[in-house]
Amino acid sequence: MMRRLLLAAIVLVAGLGLVSMTPASAYDPFATCTDADCTVVKEDKLKADNTNIVWTIMQVVLGALGAISVLMIVIGGLRFVLSQGDASAVSSAKNTVLYAVIGLVVALMAGGIVLLVTEYFG
């Protein structure tokens, strides 16, 4: 019964993550400016230098690592609650939460280092 409940909770959380995505509008690089007050320079939006590419990749990677870390913290918490006092299960659940938090901290520090390097050399 608990496994079914745990599986249902995981499916529900994963399903809510898919449903709550925000749609994005497409950018038309070939659109011309028709207003006299047009102040947007379209060439600057198309410019992609190495700093922007690296930072975009890091944002995607950090977002994925953050989501995985939060998921592992939740799984560790559920394992802790469902351990029913078994010492080895409690220890395993604590280690899961501990390693997930350490992984999240390391990922955030790596993102900070990349930001510092790109700002310093960019």
Per the domain annotation, does 73 fall within a domain? yes
| Residue 28 maps to a domain | no
Which domain covers residue 85, as residue numbers?
60-122
- Number of neighbouring beta carbons within 10 Å of residue 107: 19
Give the model confidence (pLDDT) of 83-93 as tens digits: 988 899 999 99
In a domain, 26, yes or no: no
Q: Is residue 55 in a domain?
A: no
User: How many domains is the chain built from?
Assistant: 1
Helix (H, G, I), strand (E, B) or coil at 46: helix
Residue 32 dihedral angles phi and psi, to the nearest 5°: -100, 155
pTM over 0.85: no
Residue 34 within any structural domain of the chain: no
In tens, the pLDDT along 58-99 reads 888 888 888 999 999 999 999 999 998 889 999 999 999 999
- Is 67 inside a domain boundary? yes
In contact, 84 and 90? CB cutoff 8 Å: no
51 is a domain residue: no
